[in-house]
Structure 1
Amino acid sequence: MTIAIFQCLKQSISLGCFPRLKIVHTSRKFMAKIYIPVVNWFLLASCLGFILLFRSTSDVGNAYAIAELGVMIMATVYVTLIMLLIWETNIIKVISFLITFLSLELIFFSSALSSVGDGGWALLVFASGLVMIMFIWNYGTKLKYDSELKQKLSRDLMRKLGPNLGTMRAPGLGLVYSEIVTGVPAIFGHFLTALPAIHSIIVFVCVRNVPVPAVPQSERYVHGL
């Protein structure tokens, strides 16, 4: 269960639905073996909080039942999508699988909903808060990216403005982070007009997640400052 939470958060970060967290790859061979220290401590605090809140094994069991059945329903939906889009299984088999498993899970889930007032409410509140955080973060990330994409500066404009600004070039290396992959971010134009000097070497950095546990030594670039 803990590894599944790590994987779900990793995918959410890759999709821009959650803030970036430190991810530790515990294996160089298997990509699924990861560890997120902050999330691990958060899970510990959450478990202790639920225990102190309920003080009853029956209430904890009710909350766990809703969570487990929710996971089962989502797993059935995802497997159905995989059967359709990736495995290209016969549609009759897909429908039979979906009706058989989803109907049973919905029956159990409907019975678990009767215990919402006896502990299940806490899990629903927690899940709603998490979904709200993911929605707001994804919305803000897209808004920021669209804004940077619209306001980016062309290289021709930078070449024309460069000699006329009178900006001094200091020795060293400067890193400018941006979400856009190509083009000059608008914030760099603000630096040129507001700062009296910039570094002689400017590197625009854009971070993108790739599904590899480690970067091969031959593909690493090391710069000594």
Structure 2
Amino acid sequence: MNPVPPWLATLADSASGMTVPPQMRPPRDGGRESAVLILFGEGPHGPDLLLIQRNAGLRRHPGQPAFPGGRIEPTDPSPEAAALREAAEETGLVPAGVDVLGRLPELYLSFSDFRVAPVLGWWRDPSEVRPTDLHEVAAVSRVPVSDLADPANRVMVRYGDGSRWGPGFRVDGMLVWGFTGAIVDRLLALGEWELPWRREGLTDVFEATPNGLRPVG
């Protein structure tokens, strides 16, 4: 059993009031209610985050890495309960081993019209995880924060006509980008893990297309 570390308590306090980028602010009305679990644990290489990789055949966000999560069902008593239920269904996670620390501000995923409640948790008693919903999930990974912060693993992603850019992370055979990449980037800054990027011109650039990412240059 591992009590909540001081660094995570501080991060939870900072993240609860973090500034939401304009493109991720929910509309006044509409949007489907959902929740994701942002789960920190302590692994052999220090703090880590639980991520899944979605199956390539899915209609929404095929093949993309993501936090465990999904729609809030009428039977879910809260977004926290929904996030834990979805994580258990997708990865086999045992919810009793997770301490819920709070939520980040509500975010909006415009591509799929989801209003997302990001639930922050601490893996007090880690359980074995693996893809348990084989229709939705291709892989499950505990990614060290040190790998996410490593400038050698960071990339830039260009969206649309090139007027908007976002962060990406090449870790554990995955390229984390989009909505998940933006949250990871913000958490690295709030947790004071962020390191200077490589010199301009040496950072890999990808372009977001309807079929996923393609290298630029």
| TM-score (ref. length: structure 1) | 0.23
More strand by share: 2
Q: Which has the larger radius of gyration?
A: 1
RCO greater where, 1 or 2, for CA within 8 Å and sep 6 or more? 2
* Higher relative helix content: 1
User: So what's the TM-score if we normalise by structure 2?
Assistant: 0.24
